[in-house]
Structure 1
Amino acid sequence: MNPILSMLLGTLFVLPAQAKMQEMDDQQLAGVNGQGIAFSLEGILLDASESSIFINDITNAAGENVPISVHEFYFASTGSNKGSDLQPVNLGRLGNPFKLQFGNGEDLRTLRDDGVFVQTTPDNVAILELTFPERLTGALGQPCIAGFAAAGTNCSSRLGERLDAGIRFDFQVAAGRTDILNLDIVELIMDGSYLRLWGDEARDQLVGEARINLFAKRIDLMSCIPGTANCASQQEQADRTISLSNTYANVALGYGKSQPLLFDVTSDGQFVIELPNPVSRNANGSARSAAERNAIATDFYTNAPRTNVVIGNFRSGNRSSVTGGYNYGRNAIEGVSINYLKATSRDL
């Protein structure tokens, strides 16, 4: 039996406060070699609507503290009506779980936009991988966004395995003034997302690659608190809302065979992530021949996952049941390849 499935059948993690374990006999235990674990999450519910988190020590140009308070943080099953009706949600299931596992680079695959699984990681490398429920091929999948086929129909999560989530930020940017950012997300899933990490001997550092998939039926950004002055009626709330419907993003960071994502820390404690040019030089710094550069470039532009950000419909200041505002329609950035990227943290 596959060791991942052995662990999956042997242990089922149930959050937040329950855990059920099934006894395994010697023959079953003999098939478990520690390659990894698979798990699903049942009965997940977070309701922090009555709590507040305060973030301090962020200063403006004048050196004054600009506190940020976090309110109304929740995630629950779909149909929550922006957090007013919270019910537990199950994330993943036995047939399509989350996984934390070790694998060989030559055995791992990534789903390209054309529906083909390709190898992106180098051969003969042991890789630590955290994966979300997988995206599927053929006719086995579910719509990634209900009623919006353009996002794909190959997600494994069913409608009842998707999140509603929300959070509100209060920014005190000036004395006597508080600015609001209220975020609500409907039917969120991240099928096919993963993080892979391994050690690169030639670079002598930790490297990896990541795929971040986000699918959401609706995302609302509102700049006021419902029920307060000038934010009480449906029209007032709509006037202060930006709505993104049928929205998805596939963000590809790194192509392990020729452009791994590099992680580093500077001498003053800042974090650095970098995507090097895939064809410029070898990992040890030596120059590549023209034939090597051509072969790497052909593989990179053929097989490296692309980044897509698609908003099926973008509205500001209006909804279907109120007047005013503007409908910007569909907005998209598709098929992006990142040839070079370097990002460094900074002290505020």
Structure 2
Amino acid sequence: MMCNRISQLLCAALLAVLAGDALADLRDLSDAELSEVDGAGMGLVLEDFKFAHGTDIENGQIFRIGGIKSSQGEDVEIIVNKLYIAAAGSNYGGTLEPVNLGRLINPYRIDVVDGDDIGVPDKAVLEFAAPRKMANAEGYDCMSASAGAGSGTCASRPATADLPQGERPDIGLQLNFTVGEQASANINVHAQSAVIDGSVIRLWGDDERNQLVGQFKLNFYTPELSINACDQDTAVCGSRILMRHFALELALGNALQPMYLDVDGSGNFVLEVDRIRQPLAGEIGSDGLRASSDGAAWDYYEGYYTNPEYRSSVTIGNLTVGDRDFGSGQIKGMLIQHLKIRTKDLAP
């Protein structure tokens, strides 16, 4: 647990819990000490962490998602039958061992940051962030299970003899779908040795539109991502979709092109990545060069189109479906010009 900029009392309590010392001494802070605490943020590290959920209907242990209708007006029930987060090598959830998440020098963070520092002027921005990426000379390859220091930009370390838990969890999920009275297939998703370093969610308020505004950066790396479906009654499974060396770097919203979050009058959720501002007449010269353009406007668009943090990429080292091999594929440098997603109730 990182104690920088957090109340001594809260930090002491959290450290005591994580260290397993329930008898740690706590003391009150004086007014002078409290005046030095700004409460701006906290770091989170989970050591020897393991999470497993399994549905046990007879004993009332069930994770159910309801309130969904099919296009025919039938009730759709989703049961989270299995969910696990554990150390790498879990054999698709069959063997669960503890894993470390984050490090003291690079934890998961919940913080309130100064918007002036991230291109959102005059705003306090709520930030949820995974461990930061590192320089190549210090970091680890994001995919390799045997990566050593100096091989890549990820901070999370793979399991080794000196660090048997590792910092890269196996993550798995099984969903059972029932439409009306008919039980359909189980959907199984498993990711091995997953890394999300560099991911961040930022939220702030927009005064002009009176809406919640966000910026979402998701980095997801795994040596193997698999998806398949199995019949609930016979347990017969279909072909497994297997993606090896899967890397997703998704950027939704940025300081110049924010992502707006809203709920419309019908109760449906709306997500919109706004269009980039269009140049005014004469702002950009006919030859596209800065010398013939308004300098500030040219710099604005140059920054937007050349900033790699605004672009998204997907890479699959090898894709197989059952016994069919489709080879590798990638989408690099995708820039979202405008995106609007609106949920809709399909019930009649």
Give the TM-score band, short-chain normalised. 0.7 to 0.9
| Alignment-derived partner of residue 251 in structure 1 | 250
User: Cα deviation per residue 1:64-113 (whole Å; 9 max; x = unaligned)?
Assistant: 334333212211111111111111222111111011112222334xxxxx
Counterpart selection for 2:79 from 69, 73, 77: 69
1:195-235 residue CA offsets vs partner (Å, 9 max, x unmatched): 11222334333222111111111111122269x8574xxxx
Looking at structure 2, the residues matched to 139 and 46 of structure 1 have their Cα atoms a distance apart, in angstroms, of 33
C-alpha contact 2:5 2:38 (8 A) present in aligned 1? no
Q: Is the 8 Å Cα contact of residues 277 and 339 (structure 1) preserved in structure 2?
A: yes
For residues 278 and 180 of structure 1, do their structure 2 counterparts lie closer, same or farther at Cα, with a shift above 3 Å needed?
A: same
Aligned partner letter, 1:249: L
Partner of 2:191: 185
Aligned counterpart, 2:313: 308
The alpha carbon displacement at 1:145 in A equals 1.0
Decide whether the 8 Å contact of 1:3 with 1:33 is kept in 2: no
What is the TM-score with the length of structure 2 in the denominator?
Answer: 0.78
1:315–1:23 CA distance, 2 compared to 1 (3 A) = same
| 1:12 corresponding residue in structure 2 | 15
Which residue number in structure 2 is paired with residue 32 of structure 1?
37
| Equivalent in the alignment of 2:172 | 166
1:236-281: CA deviations, max 9, x gaps? x6x621111110101001121x211112222232222211111238
Q: Aligned partners of 2:247, 2:35: CA distance in 1, in Å?
A: 42
Cα distance change on mapping 1:87 and 1:132 into 2, 3 Å: same
- Assess, with a 3 A threshold, how the Cα gap between structure 1 residues 262 and 288 changes in structure 2: closer, same or farther: farther
The aligned residue for residue 261 of structure 1 is: 259
Contact 1:3 1:32 in 2 (8 A): no
Q: Quote the residue 1:132 is aligned against.
A: 130
Alignment of 1:96 onto 2:102: no
Residue of structure 2 in register with 1:298 after alignment: 302
* Distance change (3 Å), C-alpha of 1:269 and 1:88: same
Q: CA deviation at 1:301?
A: 0.5
| Equivalent pair of 1:148/1:246 in contact (CA under 8 Å) | no
The equivalent of 1:322 in structure 2 is none
Give the alignment's Cα RMSD to 1 decimal. Answer: 3.4
The residue aligned with 1:277 is 275
Name whichever of 6-15 and 85-94 sits farther off.
6-15
Deviation (angstroms), 1:337: 0.4
Q: Cα 1:45–1:230, aligned 2, differ >3 Å: closer, same or farther?
A: closer
Q: 1:333 aligns with which of 328, 331, 334?
A: 331
Supply the distance in 2 between the matched residues of 1:61 and 1:139 (Cα, whole angstroms): 53
Please list every run of 5 or more consecutive structure 2 residues that lacks an aligned counterpart in the other structure.
Answer: 57-61, 159-165, 285-293
Evaluate the alpha carbon distance shift between residue 299 and residue 176 of structure 1 in structure 2; reply closer, same or farther with a 3 A threshold.
closer
Q: Which amino acid aligns with 1:224?
A: C
- Does residue 80 of structure 1 match 2:84? no
For these two proteins, the number of residue pairs brought into alignment is 315
Partner of 2:156: 157
Q: How does 1:105-116 map to 2 (within 5 A)?
A: 105-108=115-118
Indicate the larger mover: 25-34 or 88-97: 25-34
Write the distance in 2 (CA, Å) between the matches of 1:133 and 1:343: 29
Q: 1-side partners of 2:172 and 2:226: how far apart?
A: 9
Shift of 1:18: 7.7
- Give the AA of the match of 1:105: G
Match of 1:321 in 2: none
Could you list the per-position Cα deviations for residues 273-313 of structure 1 after superposition, in whole angstroms to 9, with x for gaps in the alignment? Answer: 211111238xxxx9995536543221101125210111111
**Counterpart position of 1:116:** none
The one-letter code sitting in structure 1 at the alignment partner of 2:50 is L
Task: Write out per-residue CA displacement over residues 100-148 of structure 1, whole angstroms, 9 at most, x where no aligned residue.
Answer: 112222334xxxxxxxxxxxx2334322211111111131101111169
Closer/same/farther in 2, CA of residues 23 and 16 from structure 1, 3 Å limit: closer
CA shift in 2, pair 1:288/1:275, >3 Å = farther
Where do 5+ consecutive residues of structure 1 fail to align? 109-120, 232-236, 318-324
